[in-house]
Structure 1
Amino acid sequence: MDKAPFKYDIVGSFLRPERLKKAREDYFNHSITKEELTVIENEEIKKLIDKQKSLGLKAVTDGEFRRRWWHLDFIQALNGISVYDKVTTGFQGKEMKVQGSYISSPISFNEKHPFLEHFRLTQEIAGDTLVKQTIPGPNMIYLDSLILSPQYKENPVYSDLADFRKDLIETYQKAISAFYEAGCRYLQLDDTSWGALFSSAFREKIEACGYQPDQLINEFGDITEAALRVKPKDMVITFHICKGNFQSSWLYEGFYDVIAKRLFSIDAFDGFFLEYDDERSGDFSPLKYIHNQKVVLGLITTKTADLEDKEVIKQRIIEASQYVPLEQLCLSPQCGFASTQEGNHITQQQQWAKLEHVVAIANEVFK
């Protein structure tokens, strides 16, 4: 089997079936037990994995069916993180009820993190098929739980940020090692925090909090590289960045140019999943900083149902090959279909049509 990421691949999340949504609601309303919810989750994940296999995917995910959020479920299960409810207008000015996080005590990895058992269950369901595990990248914690957090500013845990960065690196080193020991061989760090570093609006917010975005580019890179130092040789780790994906809306604007040189120099990554589904992503010129890693072009949007023109997508792949050899390029949707349990504004049928489109185009281009 080829090494991941594959010529046609997926980011991770899928639309939640109505049965699963109802079961989660029943659980939180105390109508069913945790055990009963887990049974339903397992059954729906099996259906999802069978569907992914039928499309010919070489790696499958659990669709993030056990999560409410793509990131907070993982982050809040670490030691030292607290989560709270809030209302935001960040996504294109829409007022939405969301959750935030802040560091409430020194952070560390939870050796009994529930995602480890979730992975084992998914691998058991998947059988011999490779399972891709997705988790948020370390700098989501740095940005959201510390830099932009008013709670943390009021009650800072670390007198020296060097101690925080050390704890953050160790937390992720232990997470990577724990997933490997659980049998994971394909791990993906989803990290939208890098998008804040090229978004003019968020650069202003970061500066207002007393931090320098350009300095953070290097710090984010250093933290990520240090976390990956424990990566085993037979484990694939990829990186995914998008500009926000919440019920078909987005958060950041800006191009990869600002972060590309530092981010793409992280050679421990086997591939980069990059959002390129609209003009907000800019052109492919930042790909000139790619070394030997694969680039998974997110040219197919998950935000709308319309299928992209196949010939246009093929031409865009050829354009990207001016900067990265074709053999290093792959194709995927630009993000998951449901970064939160609500999901994007498309149907199940439209979701699968998108993936069939990815597979068909990739098979024609990467012969």
Structure 2
Amino acid sequence: MSITLADARVVTPAGVHDGWITIEDGRITHVGRGQAPRGDGHGLGGRYVVPGFVDIHTHGGAGGSFPSGDQEEARRVAGFHAAHGTTTIVASLVTAAPPDLARATAALAELCDDGVLAGIHFEGPYIARSRCGAHDPALLRDPSPRELAELLKAGHGHVRMVTIAPELPGGLDTVRAAVSEGVIAALGHSDASYEQAIAGIEAGCTVATHLFNALPSLHHREPGPVAALLEDERVTVELINDGLHVHPAMLRLAARAAGTGRAVLITDAMAAAGMGDGAYRLGSMEVEVSGGAARLVEGGAIAGSTLTMDLAFRRTVQEVGLTVAEAAVLASLTPARVLGVDDRVGSIAVGKDADLVVLDDDLTVHRVMRHGAWLSTT
């Protein structure tokens, strides 16, 4: 089956052009400029077409949670975010006891086999108590290569990333162990000094878990991990653009320092995304959502977000000041490169999966396509 999306503003890493896209058997076969050739066309009325979003850090949404390990919930979470344009999603788990982590990992690995998920991310338990945020401090542990190896076995090759505080005992060894197994080591929830962060990067950390959040602040005499992460060309930095986690000025600073090739948008969304205010859980922690802001009942720490990627994309253009093409790189191509799947997704190019998001002039979602099939309509 072939379909041509005509009368579109096609967004590629090189910019935006008026043109058309032809899709056959779930893949992009042609990307053209100007008027589309005759055939089974679908006119988009001049709307933007951007590549499907790739979210490498998500905990939940639509009332469901990845950390629960419930497959029905996980499918609901993935479907909810797909309706908001995220066609490739990684399931992020939070700190839990090893048996609980292994159980959830094994269940989610089956959904990776089915193509529902693109991988699994352990955000804990190898993080600093002083920067634990919404993670249960009673369940934190020093990083352990041996324990990580057991958790990776439960994932059957689908664990893609683990967040580690490199300054902890065993931290650098666990970073090296993760990398040796083909798992991305991310530096985050850490009290590392500038020098300790550099040691973590040298050991193999290549991602900064939600830069600025749960890390020491930049200081002109004590630059800390943020400076180390921003200045090293080997590191990609995650950014939560929900208007709460990071001020737009700091997002602009990070985007300029890292460039579109080293900055990615994430949602860090939890179960309340798409649901409204009320009481929720993030792992073992009780969360209260008020005015769209998720905070722990005890202590008031920010507990993930209620963000969706389409809103993050829109804010990045309208409030941070990036172009539509630049925002698409942050939301799609660069995170696809982080996961090593940019040969299939992340940009609009011949041969790639037809994972596409059609946006109105105000950058709200009009339709979403995954593997050549429409997922949602308005």
Superposition TM-score, scaled by structure 2 size: 0.48
Superposition TM-score, scaled by structure 1 size: 0.49
More strand by share: 2
